[in-house]
Structure 1
Amino acid sequence: MSSSLCEPDFYTNSDPEALDPDARLVRVLAKLEGEITSRSIICLQEISRTWSGELHTFFAQRGYHYVHSAYGGQKNGFMGVSVAFPISEYDLTSTLIDRVATFKEWPRPPAPGRLSRLGSALVRMYRRIRKQKAPIDPWRDAMNRHNCLVCARLVHKASGKPFHLATYHMPCQFWVPSVMTIHAALVQQRLHQLAGEEPLIWCGDFNVMPGDGPYQLITEGSLDPEHEAFPPPRSHDEWEPTVPMALTSAYKQKAGDEPAFTNWAQTRGSPPFIGTLDYVFMSEGCRAVELSPAPTTMPREDGVARGGQLKGALKGMYGGPFPTTEEPSDHLMVGATVELP
């Protein structure tokens, strides 16, 4: 979504005319107008600082309160996540904006002994000679992430019912999925502390597919320690990626399955990707009564596997990869009308 991450040399298989930041913003706002007409609550991810200023004005002029947290760097336009809601429909009683990596302590490992230091030095020397990169430490990587969570406690004025609405953009570390497991657990633990027995809705770009480890943790409430996405244990750290509750996907509950895909993109040096990465999760007792339209089937030509090469039939049917002049983001918009308990 970020206006700074949409150059023609990055999205190499998209029409350059569809990538112009100003034109994309116009298309994004046009999509949001429809949701504003319905007085929807809106959650956004990858919003650049440039677009955030425009969105503050856009929402204020339409009677919306806009909460934004920017945590990115110059390369991605200092992007962040946002929540916007109509003040005629909801009262805001509290807001959390915080960096997820601060939700736990990160104890230092014990100092290595002399033999251990010597062994590490030899390994580093070997890697330099072989021009190999050291493997990513998922704990250190998770600790160094700046991704922020936005959570608002809202009260629906007509019914008087309170609920918590959160949005998050998961670190894109599918090659080290345990990083995302750590962050999924940190967010879910914190949301449980905030919401308690009150209803919770958590929306966002989770960067995980249905069935992936972090998705299992969120929706089933646990993850097998033998799973590849479960982080390696640390003897000096008692914290574990466990969650106090399982959440339900609005699409899975109402439609019986997740959308066939919510993301379709091809970036420089990578094969095309198509898959489901975006979700609306709800706590127990919430009921999805209506869903925003989303693809229900994966169009195929001789079969298209997860993340596999996309065939001409796909491009002709959906006009992707995104962004396009019809879809200003590489992600499709998902949403649900939720009945609170």
Structure 2
Amino acid sequence: MSVRIVSYNIFAPVYADRPEHYFKCQPEFLKTDYRWNLIRDQLEHEIVNHKNTIICLQEVSLTLIPDLELFFRRLNYSFFHNLYGQMRNDYMGGIAMAIPITMRLNSMSIIRIGDRIRSMMKLRSEQTTSLPTDLWEIAASQPHTFICLQLVINDKQLSVGTYHMPCLYKQPDVMLIHSSIIKDLMFELAAGQNFILAGDFNFKPRDICYKYLIKEEHVDCNLPESAIEQKLKSAYREKNGSEPVYTDFSHKCNSERFCETLDYIFYNGHLTVDNVLQLPDQPTSESYPDQTHPSDHLMIAATFRLL
């Protein structure tokens, strides 16, 4: 029995439709209607051509919620979302998940990670740590939320979560705190069962957060940890031997060309990666979005076999 996990940062319209900022893009390819038609077609292709497809979305904003609701309803999908931005950015920052209505949903968790961090800060203050208090305050102040669905597929339990990591690459220790909390939450909510964690994590494979999650490198900063010391695996790395060449590509005004891998499908448990969505080795335009890429991120996907 298999399940298909799709993860996609769909690029919020309030940020995408700025031709003066994305000066390497043709303005017509930044328009919301043009991009939405491509996004819809890509998602529908994954749903129609694979069984048990679960969709994880990042950068969901208020503008696209009605289109997403109608799209998933037409395909007989249940759609769950949480917006945590502000009016000035169209409440961008939201995340969403969609599952077939025939898929059994046992429970759903929506957790503001900053609240989780703040609740732990009192305990942390009683312990020795190498991370300064101000970093914990910054980590706790982030509005980002996390969605996790506890599912039963052919009598097998599976938890699937999605997250959009704060883009604080100049403060990697703050991202490391969030990485630790997200990892421990997945183990806690899955309660010993299989789980998959997908999303835009805003760190590269060579960064400390990635190495921490897969236990490739010991991090000696006394982060809060659950009793479970297992590491995560990455679907693309397990299947192909390495992460994709890139999942995010853009060339913005007043910044250098950016082409890196930021999106991952992590997992733990008795799961085997049957296949992953093939991604290009290099961009074919000066910047995304372009004629065939509606977001600055690539959609990623993996098919898992539940053992």
* TM-score after normalising by structure 2: 0.87
* Counterpart-to-counterpart distance in 1, 2:21 and 2:251: 8
Secondary structure, counterpart of 1:41 in structure 2: strand
Gaps of 5+ in 2: 1-10, 126-131
1:23 Cα offset (Å):
1.4
Q: Of 138, 145, 170, which aligns to 1:148?
A: 145
* Counterpart-to-counterpart distance in 2, 1:28 and 1:181: 31
Q: Which residue in the other structure is 1:199 paired with?
A: 194
Change (3 A) 1:95 1:214: same
> RMSD of the TM alignment (CA)?
2.1
Task: Give the alignment of 1:251-270 within 5 angstroms.
Answer: 251-270=236-255
Secondary structure, counterpart of 2:259 in structure 1: strand
* Counterpart-to-counterpart distance in 1, 2:247 and 2:29: 18
* Counterpart-to-counterpart distance in 2, 1:146 and 1:139: 14
Q: Which structure: greater strand fraction?
A: 2
Q: Which residue in the other structure is 2:105 paired with?
A: 92
* TM-score after normalising by structure 1: 0.78
Q: Which residue in the other structure is 2:165 paired with?
A: 170
Work out whether 1:334 is the aligned partner of 2:300: yes
* Counterpart-to-counterpart distance in 2, 1:147 and 1:54: 23
* Counterpart-to-counterpart distance in 2, 1:186 and 1:140: 14
- Say if 2:235 and 2:266, in contact at 8 Å, map to a contact too: yes
What's the CA shift string for 1:109-161, capped at 9, x where partnerless?
99xxxxxxxxxxxxxxxxxxxxxxxx9942221110000000001111xx211
Residue correspondences, number: 283
Bigger RCO (CA 8 Å, 6+ sep): 2
Change (3 A) 1:263 1:247: same
* Counterpart-to-counterpart distance in 2, 1:50 and 1:103: 29
Q: Which has the larger radius of gyration?
A: 1
Task: Give the alignment of 1:271-282 within 5 angstroms.
Answer: 271-282=256-267
Gaps of 5+ in 1: 111-134, 234-239, 300-313
Task: Give the alignment of 1:74-223 within 5 angstroms.
Answer: 74-79=87-92, 80-88=94-102, 90-104=103-117, 105=119, 106-107=121-122, 137-156=134-153, 159-220=154-215, 223=218
Q: Which residue in the other structure is 2:33 paired with?
A: 22
Structure 1's consecutive aligned runs of 4 or more residues displaced over 4 angstroms after TM superposition are: none
Seq. identity, %:
33
Q: Of 43, 46, 51, which aligns to 1:35?
A: 46
Q: Of 5, 8, 18, which aligns to 2:15?
A: 5
1:215 Cα offset (Å):
0.5
Q: Which of 279-288 and 7-16 deviates more?
A: 7-16
Secondary structure, counterpart of 2:176 in structure 1: helix
- Say if 2:273 and 2:304, in contact at 8 Å, map to a contact too: yes
1:268 Cα offset (Å):
2.8
* Counterpart-to-counterpart distance in 1, 2:148 and 2:286: 33
